């Protein structure tokens, strides 16, 4: 029985290893992390992350061939294959601050593997990394005094939070990059063999290490770019009376473009898009390509503009003052289907609203604990899991995460309990705006003119 050890039990490590363990019963899969509380949670039915379908998969394989441990160093040498899925956030200090990837966790892991290994291993880059990181990893591993053979393979993860299990079960593609040497190709085949248990062979694509590393950054940059593109058009729609939903529909029906990721809103969030684009831009700059860097950086700048624009539109609609006004914030997760609030547009929007001295009541079906933590230093913030409670007495609702449950609420009841005039700002274009205006709301959409209530309602 071969042993896979995954270092990093986060949003990527946990779900990915659970699905590998499910499909590959002849492998022993161990997930390790320095965060002992996180490891303890993986051993219960209150998993440390929320992901639809994840608990079922974990329960089916935990204790069979999936195990969680916090003694990272003790586990390393048991592994034949090590997946590294530690976090690679944006660097917050020194050279490249605010742009480059912070590789300290990554390098610490590399040194641990070098120090603790006495037998040959394949080391798989699962984290998203700058191009040519594998070179640094090889340098650290090969400097090991233990004289161990290591082979470094790149296998970036393309899962999206909220659909992680589906994405892992039926990936559009699995990408594996390795050196062209015989040992590199043998390692590549070992990793192909794992995925071939459930992924059709034609969906497993192989390449060199550098192309594999760059493909992941590029995929995220393209996805984010589409969102910024449609958001840029949404701003023009609001000025001209066009409707961005209609524009997107017409544009997306062109088969060369396609309909996905063309929905205007408050902007993208999550731990990856912003970090990976800034990292890509930094790499371009480093390699003497400032024009290319500026092109990609603009995608992030537009995203910041979109969040500011949303708050400006609230301010403009509500008579240019939000001071002392109660605002129900519907949704704090960076998108529906996840409890993750990392780099959520909600955080930036709440900060801007707090600067205006608004009083916030935040509600979210899954991310309330994270919201509480993120806003723990903010004044005038209340939290409730109940959207009706959040909206009671509020001057406005700001819908920031498009949870489907918000479509099902009784808005007549909500309207009755709000201060008048009652405003609703739909940052996801999620709700039935005509119906809301008929109830009496002043409805503000992204990329379309506002809808006023009929004159007889108040
Ligand atoms: N979250 C996503 O949707 C997603 C998707 C694709 C790729 N990625 C990439 O995957 C990587 C991991 O992302 P994530 O969202 O799972 O991060 P995460 O923060 O949820 O998890 C990373 C884990 O690594 C652990 N860790 C850090 N240093 C360690 C060490 N030395 N030894 C043991 N454990 C250590 C941390 O305690 C943490 O639990 C990042 O590079 C990210 O860019 C993320």
pLDDT in tens, the chain (458 residues): 999 999 999 999 999 999 999 999 999 999 999 999 999 999 999 999 999 999 999 999 999 999 999 999 999 999 999 999 999 999 999 999 999 999 999 999 999 999 999 999 999 999 999 888 999 999 999 998 888 999 999 999 999 999 999 999 999 999 999 999 999 999 999 999 999 999 999 999 999 999 999 999 999 999 999 999 999 999 999 999 999 999 999 999 999 999 999 999 999 999 999 999 999 999 999 999 999 999 999 999 999 999 999 999 999 999 999 999 999 999 999 999 999 999 999 999 999 999 999 999 999 999 999 999 999 999 889 999 999 999 999 999 999 999 999 999 999 999 999 999 999 999 999 999 999 999 999 999 999 999 999 987 65
What pLDDT does residue 7 have? 98
The answer, yes or no, to whether any atom of ligand 1 lies below 6 A from the CB of 31, is no
Looking from the CA of residue 108, the nearest atom of ligand 1 is 31
The answer, yes or no, to whether any atom of ligand 1 lies below 6 A from the CB of 161, is yes
Q: Is 272 among the residues known to form the active site?
A: yes
- Cβ neighbours, 10 Å, residue 339: 23
Of 5, 6, 12, the residue with max ligand 1 atoms within 8 A of its CB, to mutate for a pocket test, comes to 12
What's this model's pTM, rounded to 2 decimal places?
0.94
Looking from the CA of residue 35, the nearest atom of ligand 1 is 37
Ligand 1 centroid to 106 CA: how many Å? 10
The answer, yes or no, to whether any atom of ligand 1 lies below 6 A from the CB of 220, is no
Residue of the CA atom closest to atom 19 of ligand 1: 87
The answer, yes or no, to whether any atom of ligand 1 lies below 6 A from the CB of 108, is yes
- Domains of the chain by start residue, with CATH: 2-207 (3.40.50.720), 217-303 (1.10.1040.10), 308-457 (3.40.50.720)
- Cβ neighbours, 10 Å, residue 256: 4
φ, ψ of residue 123 to 5 degrees: the values are: -110, 120
Looking from the CA of residue 160, the nearest atom of ligand 1 is 3
Question: What residues does 425 pair with on adjacent strands?
Answer: 398, 444
Q: Please tell me the number of Cα atoms within 13 Å of 182 on its side-chain side.
A: 0
Q: Are 400 and 329 in contact (CB under 8 A)?
A: yes
SS3 36: helix
What pLDDT does residue 144 have? 84
Looking from the CA of residue 158, the nearest atom of ligand 1 is 6
The answer, yes or no, to whether any atom of ligand 1 lies below 6 A from the CB of 85, is yes
The answer, yes or no, to whether any atom of ligand 1 lies below 6 A from the CB of 7, is yes
| Catalytic annotation, pick one of 116, 272, 284, 350 | 272
Q: How far apart are CA 88 and CA 99, in angstroms?
A: 12
What pLDDT does residue 254 have? 98
The answer, yes or no, to whether any atom of ligand 1 lies below 6 A from the CB of 217, is no
What is the sign of the dihedral through the CA atoms of 292, 335, 85 and 211?
negative
């Amino acid at each position: 029985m071969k042993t896979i050890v995954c270092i990093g039990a986060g949003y990527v490590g946990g779900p990915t290893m659970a699905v590998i363990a499910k499909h590959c019963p002849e492998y022993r899969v161990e997930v390790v992390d320095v965060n002992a509380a996180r490891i303890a949670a993986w051993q219960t039915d209150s998993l440390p992350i929320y992901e639809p379908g994840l608990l079922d998969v974990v329960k089916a394989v935990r204790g069979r061939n999936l195990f969680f441990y916090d003694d990272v160093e003790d586990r390393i040498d048991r592994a034949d294959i090590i997946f590294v899925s530690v976090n690679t956030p944006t660097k917050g200090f020194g050279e490249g601050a605010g742009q480059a990837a912070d590789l300290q966790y990554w390098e610490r892991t590399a040194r641990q593997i070098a120090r603790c290994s006495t037998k040959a291993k394949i080391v798989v880059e699962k984290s998203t990394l700058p191009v040519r990181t594998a070179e640094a990893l090889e340098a650290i591993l090969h400097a090991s005094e233990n004289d161990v053979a290591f082979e470094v393979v790149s296998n970036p993860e393309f899962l999206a939070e909220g659909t992680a299990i589906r994405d892992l079960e039926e990936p559009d593609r699995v990408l594996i990059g390795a050196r062209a040497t015989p040992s590199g190709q043998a390692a590549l085949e070992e990793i192909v063999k794992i995925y071939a248990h459930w992924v059709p062979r034609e969906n497993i694509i192989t390449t060199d290490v550098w192309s594999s590393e760059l493909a992941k950054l590029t995929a995220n940059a393209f996805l984010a770019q589409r969102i910024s593109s449609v958001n840029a058009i949404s701003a023009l729609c609001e000025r001209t009376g066009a409707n961005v939903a209609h524009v997107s529909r017409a544009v997306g029906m062109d088969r060369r473009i396609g309909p996905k990721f063309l929905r205007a809103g408050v902007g993208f969030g999550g731990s990856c898009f912003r970090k990976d684009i800034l990292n890509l831009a930094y790499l371009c700059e480093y390699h003497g390509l400032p024009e290319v860097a500026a092109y990609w950086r603009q995608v992030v700048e537009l995203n910041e503009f979109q969040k500011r624009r949303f708050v400006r539109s609230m301010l403009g609609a509500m008579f240019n003052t939000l001071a002392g006004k109660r605002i129900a914030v519907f949704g704090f997760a960076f998108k529906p289907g996840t409890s993750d609030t990392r780099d959520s547009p909600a955080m930036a929007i709440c900060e801007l609203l707090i600067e205006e001295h608004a009083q916030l009541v935040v509600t979210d079906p899954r991310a309330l604990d994270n919201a509480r933590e993120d806003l723990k230093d903010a004044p005038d913030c209340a939290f409730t899991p109940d959207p009706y409670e959040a909206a009671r007495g509020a001057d406005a609702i700001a819908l920031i995460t498009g949870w489907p449950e918000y479509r099902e609420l009784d808005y007549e009841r909500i309207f009755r309990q709000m201060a008048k005039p009652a405003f609703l700002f739909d940052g996801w274009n999620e709700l039935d705006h005509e119906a809301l205006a008929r109830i009496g709301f002043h409805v503000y959409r992204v990329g379309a003119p506002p809808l006023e209530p009929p004159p007889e309602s108040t």
